[in-house]
Structure formats: structure tokens, C-alpha cells
Structure 1
Amino acid sequence: MSLFSEDEPQPVEIKGNSLTCPVCTNKLFWTRDAQLNTPVATFFNLDWANRSATCFVCSDCTHILWFLGK
């Protein structure tokens, strides 16, 4: 099983704009979903109820860009 949703990095578009890495200006990213855990939900074993974020990981420098929602 791969850590990322796709095997090869892909270009990403956000609100009609091509995503560019702010560190290295690369335009190819791997996509991954991440759980935004909170201490209270974890204490009550309710991590499933926390929000998720979509992360785009630069295929060149591995800088991570986080976006709430899909």
C-alpha cells in the first residue's frame, strides 16, 4: 500500500489556479488525506469525528501544503 493516493506525482489545481510549491516552484505533488486530531476527541476515543485535511506533498522538496476539506 502506498503512502500517497497516486503512484506518480500529479499537477494540482486549486480554485482554477495551478498549485506551485512556495519553496522550490515545482508543480507536481502527491496527495494525501490527514486527520486533524484534537486532545479531547482522542481522550474519548472519538478521533473519527475530527476534521480531515488534504495535503499536497511536493515531489521535489517534500514541502507539505495543507487544505481543509476537499
Structure 2
Amino acid sequence: MTDDVSALLLALATENAELREQLASAQDMLMETAIDAGHLHARIGALEAERDAWKVEAERLAGPASRIA
């Protein structure tokens, strides 16, 4: 191989390695984001359930008069 071809192959291999590192980093960030989104989804569900329970309790304490209006 000529020096030009060797230099081109080395440059391509280096760029390929750098791109693979960037891809791995992006995949890690994406996985972390997906995990965080799952936690947030679960937390929202828990908060909605708590809200609904408080609403039922408030309606119960208000008595039947509040349901007429």
C-alpha cells in the first residue's frame, strides 16, 4: 500500500473509533433518560392515586349536602 492509502485508512479507522465512542455515549444517555422517564411515570401515577384518595376523602367529609349542588 502506498503512504496515501495507509494514511487514509488510519484516518478512517480513527474517525470510526471516535464515532463508536460517541454512539456509546449517546446510547448511555438515552438509557438513563428512559429510566428517569419510567421513574417519573410511576411517580405521576402514585401522585394521581393520592390525589384521587384525597378527593374521595374530602367529598366524604363534606357530606351529602355538597353533592346536591
Same fold (TM over 0.5): no
The alignment's TM-score, normalised by the length of structure 1, stands at 0.16
The higher radius of gyration belongs to 2
The alignment's TM-score, normalised by the length of structure 2, stands at 0.17
